[in-house]
């Protein structure tokens, strides 16, 4: 196993990685918004672009073959940016309305962050949420014991969210890290992995509670060990296919790479 004793910062994603087990807040609202527009998406369609800026996520879903076909059948033409704008206009208020309920830290997050800090490591974060969304999530998470040293949303980078690497560079600037070789990026979506690889940093996928697995904690815990491992194996492959340098079962696994 590759260990990196020169690591100075770990940059985490938010929903599905450090808070909101299974990444359910965005999923719930994407499903609602598309269903209200007449095209009910499958959980898989909703989760595939997870981690992107939310407008980009909607636009990506609109281009999915089945959704696009349904859209044309319903509206007589292919979906446009204007359609994405309209869906987003109903998406944002609906998400803001429920976000406080989805800001609790995932298992092992608070104590793992404490261990990282004890090692002198700085904690950064990037997200597919916007600033307005983060102004709800970050204080809630802080109350529950998780507060990174900084966070950046795509709003800080001219809306260029993942897979662009700019939010990671914003973190490096804020945390005063002088080289990408001193940074680990950890997340729970393919978009997180692409963001990390595009930034040139060591990139880790987290399995349990991830959007890629997409189950609530109760659903996951109800499975047999074999079923859990089959899901983990499938998710791990997705991360590796996207270029992940490592995959860990939960956030504690990151400590092994330091």
Kindly report, residue by residue over 183-198, the tens digit of the pLDDT. Answer: 999 999 999 999 999 9
The residue-averaged pLDDT of 63-81 equals 98
pLDDT, tens digit (0-9, with 9 covering 90-100), for 195-227: 999 999 999 999 999 999 999 999 999 999 999
At residue 1, the pLDDT reads 60
Grade residue 41 by pLDDT with cuts at 50, 70 and 90. Answer: very high
Q: Are residues 94 and 109 in the same domain?
A: no
Strand, helix or coil at 186?
A: strand
Task: Specify whether 54 is catalytic.
Answer: yes
Q: What are phi and psi of 75, to 5 degrees?
A: -110, -5
Check whether residue 145 and residue 86 sit in a common domain: no
Q: Which residue range forms the structural domain that includes residue 115?
A: 9-23+104-257
* CATH number of the domain encompassing residue 53: 1.10.150.240
* Average pLDDT of the chain, as a whole number: 97
pLDDT at 222: 98
Task: Examine the domain organization and report whether 75 and 138 are in the same domain.
Answer: no
Percentage of the chain beyond pLDDT 70 is: 98
34 and 16 share one domain: no
In a domain, 4, yes or no: no
The answer on 47 and 168 residing in a single domain is no
- Which SS3 state, helix, strand or coil, does residue 196 take? helix
Task: Provide mean pLDDT across the span 139-148.
Answer: 98
Active-site residue, 13 included: yes
Report the pLDDT value the prediction gives residue 3, as an integer from 0 to 100.
63
**Banded model confidence at residue 4, pLDDT cuts 50, 70, 90:** low
Report the percentage of the chain scoring pLDDT > 90: 98
The residue annotated as part of the active site, out of 20, 54, 208, 245, is: 54
Q: Which tens digit of pLDDT belongs to each residue from 114-135?
A: 999 999 999 999 999 999 999 9
Output the six-digit token pair for 5: 């004793």
Phi, psi of 100 (to 5 degrees): -60, -30
User: At which of 100, 120, 151 does a domain end?
Assistant: 100
Residue 5 is predicted with a pLDDT of: 74
Residues 157 and 185 occupy one common structural domain: yes
Same domain, 96 and 168: no
- pLDDT value at residue 2: 63
Of 13, 20, 56, 245, which is the active-site residue? 13
The reply to whether 115 and 131 lie within a common domain is: yes
CA distances from 200 to 9, 128, 132, 182 (A): 14, 19, 29, 10
């Amino acid at each position: 196993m590759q260990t990196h004793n020169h690591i100075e910062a770990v940059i985490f994603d938010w929903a599905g990685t450090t808070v909101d087990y299974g990444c359910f807040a965005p999923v719930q609202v994407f499903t609602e918004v598309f269903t209200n527009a007449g095209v009910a998406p499958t959980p898989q369609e909703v989760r595939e672009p997870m981690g992107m800026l939310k407008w980009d996520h909607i636009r990506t879903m609109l281009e999915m073959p089945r959704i696009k076909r349904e859209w044309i059948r319903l509206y007589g033409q292919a979906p446009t940016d204007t359609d994405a704008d309209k869906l987003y206009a109903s998406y944002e208020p609906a998400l803001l309305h429920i976000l406080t309920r989805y800001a609790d830290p995932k298992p092992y997050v608070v104590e793992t962050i404490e261990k990282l800090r004890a090692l002198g490591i700085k904690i950064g974060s990037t997200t597919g949420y916007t600033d307005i969304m983060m102004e709800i999530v970050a204080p809630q998470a802080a109350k529950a014991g998780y507060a990174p040293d900084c966070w950046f949303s795509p709003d800080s980078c001219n809306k260029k969210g993942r897979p662009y690497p700019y939010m990671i560079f914003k973190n490096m600037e804020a945390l005063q890290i002088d080289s990408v070789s001193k940074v680990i990026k950890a997340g729970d979506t393919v978009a997180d992995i692409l963001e990390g690889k595009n930034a040139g940093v060591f990139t880790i996928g987290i399995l349990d509670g991830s959007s890629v697995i997409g189950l609530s904690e109760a659903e996951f815990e109800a499975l047999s060990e074999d079923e859990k491992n089959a899901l983990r194996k499938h998710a791990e492959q997705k991360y590796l296919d996207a270029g992940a340098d490592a995959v860990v079962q939960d956030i504690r696994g990151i400590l092994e790479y330091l």
